[in-house]
Amino acid sequence: MEKNAHILLVEDNRMDIELTLDAFKEARLKNTIQVAKNGEEALDYLFGRGKYADRESYPMPNLVLLDLKLPRVDGFEVLRQVKSEPILKRLPVVILTSSKEEGDRALSYDIGANSYLVKPVSFDGFLGVVRQIEGYWLTLNVAPPGNDL
């Protein structure tokens, strides 16, 4: 991959944040990753509000990795707002959650999720998921117009 993708990781669990960041580092991916620790912070980032208004410092992501069970605003509402906003609706959103519930999966896709991944429990599992994300979403997938890397 020639260009550096910007990824927004929306996750409230400190251990899962560390596992994901460590897996990206171990995979030697050069993507920049911004972390939002709750749904409200994710929406502020995506809509460029408050401290995230400076797109030079906080560029629009090329991919969002979104947990569902979040404080303040849950992942379903984040997804709902992103997919209902014309300037954001083409942004790829990959659900990265511990939920294996069929209802959560169905609702995620109904709202507009681009993919649904269940978090692995081991570091090697996270590393495999990160490599798959990089291989597909950041290398093979052709981004929609306006979200090109």
Q: With cut-offs at 50, 70 and 90, classify the pLDDT of residue 3.
A: low
The pLDDT of residue 142 is 76
On whether the CB atoms of residues 58 and 67 are closer than 8 A, the answer is no
pLDDT in tens, 14-58: 999 998 888 888 887 778 899 999 999 999 999 999 999 999 999
Q: With cut-offs at 50, 70 and 90, classify the pLDDT of residue 149.
A: very low
Q: Tokens 């993507």 sit at which residue? A: 31
SS3 helix, strand, coil % of the chain, rounded to 5?
40, 15, 40
Opening angle at CA 147, ends 141 and 149, nearest 5: 65
The pLDDT of residue 1 is 37
Q: Which domains does the chain have, with CATH numbers?
A: 6-140 (3.40.50.2300)
The pLDDT of residue 30 is 75
Q: With cut-offs at 50, 70 and 90, classify the pLDDT of residue 127.
A: confident
State yes or no: pLDDT of 148 exceeds 60.
Answer: no
* Residue 105: φ, ψ to 5°: -65, -45
pLDDT in tens, 69-102: 999 999 999 999 999 999 999 999 999 999 999 9
Q: Tokens 């906080």 sit at which residue? A: 58
Closest CA to 73 of 3, 10, 148, 21: 10
